[in-house]
Amino acid sequence: MIHVAVFGYGTVGKGVVEVIDRNNDIVSAASGDKVSVKYILDLLDFPGDPNEAKIVHDVNVIISDPEVSIICETMGGTGAAYKFTKAALEQGKSVCSSNKELVAKHGAELMKVAKEHGCTYLFEASVGGGIPVLRTLTTALTAERITRIAGILNGTTNFILTKMEEEGAGFDETLKTAQELGYAESDPTADIEGHDTARKISILSDIMSGHFVDSDNVPTEGITKIDKSDIALASGAGFKIRLLGIGDRYDDDSVRTMVAPFLIEKGHPLAGVCDVFNAIFVTGNILGDTMYYGKGAGKLATASAVVADVIDAARKGSSTMYCGWDETPVKAADSSSAKSRYFVRVSEADAAKAKALFEASTDIGVSDGKAGFITGPVSDSAVEGLDKSVIENMIRIYE
């Protein structure tokens, strides 16, 4: 019997218990022995819940139980989750996590602790929910030098951008719809300001580079400034707007990361990713482009990824580990001369004045009294120095 404990009986924790229960024959067969949830750690009691008897409030009950070999950490945050994860690893218990915040901040250290104690720290569910992108990067694309990872990594913002386009609606009303449907939280800041995406692209960039990419250092721009006229103008010119997390790795092993909305040509596979779906586009030096698509969040998709890690931990014990990164900060690429083309939105009256700011520009039309044009390549430093008084919004073109 493989005894599992779940830390945190929230949405994902409940999903983990449900997946282990519903697919127990498959999960047990793949693990090589029957898998069973012995404890659930939570502050609350859940009276009436079918798993009520498994709830414990003291983490030490679990950590001191030699029968428990695998922990699923679905608590979130970097406080208790960090302390409990470390304590479990130090007892030789493998930990499978969906906690992107903790992985982004302390992943390197926790993998090291796991290695020292003959167990493993896995976290497929922390990026891309049910999309097995970490395992793909570390076990399948092993013959490749990965040069770019670009992902639609947040379902909430992708839902909002898709709905704004489909319904010609504004940002605020669409956010409200997303909240009513349960696709956005009551405090949506982490999603709409891009922080959630920043954490995920740093984890992906950690793996790509082998070094620590601090999510606090990722230049991060969310989608709150996007107006329905941006989407209408972009659409008329053959583009969709998507919030991307991007990590670029250069020949000198420096890395540039960024979270920002981009205009993506409609023919590009990332442009076809709609609603709450996520997708990660990976470029290798030999393979070229590949893309991995699926549900990036949600109770069961995320739980399925956690349970796949449980199976891996059960199968291979300490011998499985995502290609770890170390705690050394990655070398940051000098991006001051990096150039991008931009979509620019201005009021019709200011179009001539705005266009004069750029060496080259191509009109793409007018919508709702707003004019749109696309600039030639402009460096980041030039953009910083621009007099933006008449510019209402600028969004990079993805290329």
Mind telling me the catalytic residues?
A: 200
Strand partners, 97: 73
Residue 96 near residue 122 (C-beta atoms within 8 A): yes
The sign of the CA dihedral 155, 159, 165, 168 is negative
* Alpha-carbon span 172 to 16, nearest angstrom: 34
> Which of residues 289 and 363 has its CB atom nearest to its own copies in the complex?
289
64: nearest Cα among 44, 43, 38, 46: 38
> Which of residues 111 and 344 has its CB atom nearest to its own copies in the complex?
111
Residue 208 near residue 257 (C-beta atoms within 8 A): no
Write the Ramachandran bin of 129: left for phi over 0, alpha for psi from -120 to 50, otherwise beta.
left
| Helix, strand or coil, per DSSP, at residue 275 | coil
What's the one-letter identity of residue 92? G
Q: How far is the CB of 263 from its own copies (least distance, A)?
A: 17
Residue 293 near residue 277 (C-beta atoms within 8 A): yes
Phi, then psi, of 27 in degrees rounded to 5: -65, -45
List residues binding its own copies (CB under 8 A).
19, 22-23, 26-27, 30, 124, 130-132, 135-136, 139-145, 267, 269, 271-274, 277, 284-295, 300-301, 303-305, 307-308, 310-312
CA distances from 231 to 193, 194, 374, 391 (A): 18, 18, 14, 16
> Which of residues 192 and 300 has its CB atom nearest to its own copies in the complex?
300
Residue 281 near residue 289 (C-beta atoms within 8 A): yes
Q: How far is the CB of 319 from its own copies (least distance, A)?
A: 8
Residue 74 near residue 39 (C-beta atoms within 8 A): no
Q: How far is the CB of 140 from its own copies (least distance, A)?
A: 3
> Which of residues 237 and 273 has its CB atom nearest to its own copies in the complex?
273
> Which of residues 101 and 312 has its CB atom nearest to its own copies in the complex?
312
Q: How far is the CB of 290 from its own copies (least distance, A)?
A: 3
Phi, then psi, of 236 in degrees rounded to 5: -60, -30
* Alpha-carbon span 311 to 151, nearest angstrom: 26
Q: What's the length of the chain?
A: 399
> Which of residues 311 and 346 has its CB atom nearest to its own copies in the complex?
311
Q: What is the largest CA-CA distance in the chain?
A: 73
Q: How far is the CB of 32 from its own copies (least distance, A)?
A: 11
146: nearest Cα among 22, 253, 245: 253
Residue 40 near residue 51 (C-beta atoms within 8 A): yes
Q: How far is the CB of 104 from its own copies (least distance, A)?
A: 21
> Which of residues 131 and 354 has its CB atom nearest to its own copies in the complex?
131
Q: How far is the CB of 15 from its own copies (least distance, A)?
A: 9
